[in-house]
Amino acid sequence: MVAYANYPVSAYAEEQILPADRVVPVPTSIDPIIAAAAIFKGLTAEVLVRRCFKVGPGHTILYHAAAGGVGSMVCQWANALGATVIGTISTKAKAVQAEEDGCHHVIIYREENFVDRVMEITSRKGVDVVYESIGKDTFEGSMACLKVCGHMVVFGMASGEHEPLRFQKVAEKGIYYTAPSITLYTKERHDLLAASEELFSNIEKGVLRVRVNHKYPLSQAAQAHSDMESQKTTGSIVLLPDA
């Protein structure tokens, strides 16, 4: 079996012609549905924790939307690499999953100020890296959570684009800012293969558990989007061809 490692817009078709250099082999031990759920989110997680900022023992990370598909995998992976993981989520129900996925500290952002809580957890030192995919609603707070010479990794802007970076704001702490693109990090085939092999190896070994909590027929793709946007989903969403 093979998986297509590209942006998920290609999911809205029952058949398609694929460029051979973007297809990666999937171990026979991994279920096709798990592979479908894992390939894009898992490669995103690999880029975040192994390339943009190499997470390791002694590091403290902050991840927003920790119960989402990418968040679930990042938190598990970072935990396995020895980091202290802080995750923000929206509800108590999602807090349970975040804890199961390796978050040492879970912050329900609707009930408490995540900046205050992060600074309390870190004894006012701040975190080594923030994985930011929310955008304008959390960006300023995320910046405040970083320690001196911390890393801001921005890979999405779900709530809209954040305010322009000001030199003085960045210089106050010597912050490193990066906005990674998965396609750039895996542009060369050898990088794509190495990332996918590490991803599937960790799934096989049980280091990463892929949560496929929601399955929709392809004809209900719009409903899947609606549920995701209204924060009704956790983990990964898989679209299946209609019977």
**CATH T-level assignment (fold) for domain 2-43+187-240:** Quinone Oxidoreductase; Chain A, domain 1 (3.90.180)
Among 126, 163, 171, 167, residue whose Cα is nearest residue 144: 126
pLDDT digit string, tens, across residues 158-193: 899 998 888 988 999 999 999 998 989 999 999 999
d(CA 184, CA 44): 11
Question: Residue 66: pLDDT above 70?
Answer: yes
pTM (two decimals): 0.89
91-127 pLDDT, tens digit each: 999 999 999 999 999 999 999 999 999 999 999 999 9
Q: Give the residue-averaged pLDDT of 207-230.
A: 91
Give the residues across from 208 on adjacent strands: none
Q: Where in the chain is the domain with CATH 3.40.50.720?
A: 57-183
The ranges of the chain annotated as CATH 3.90.180.10 are 2-43+187-240
Q: In terms of Cα–Cα distance, which of 195, 220, 188 is closest to 38?
A: 195
CATH fold label, 57-183: Rossmann fold (3.40.50)
d(C-alpha 24, C-alpha 4), whole Å: 6
CB-based contacts of 76: which residues, under 8 Å, 6+ apart? 101, 102, 207, 208, 209
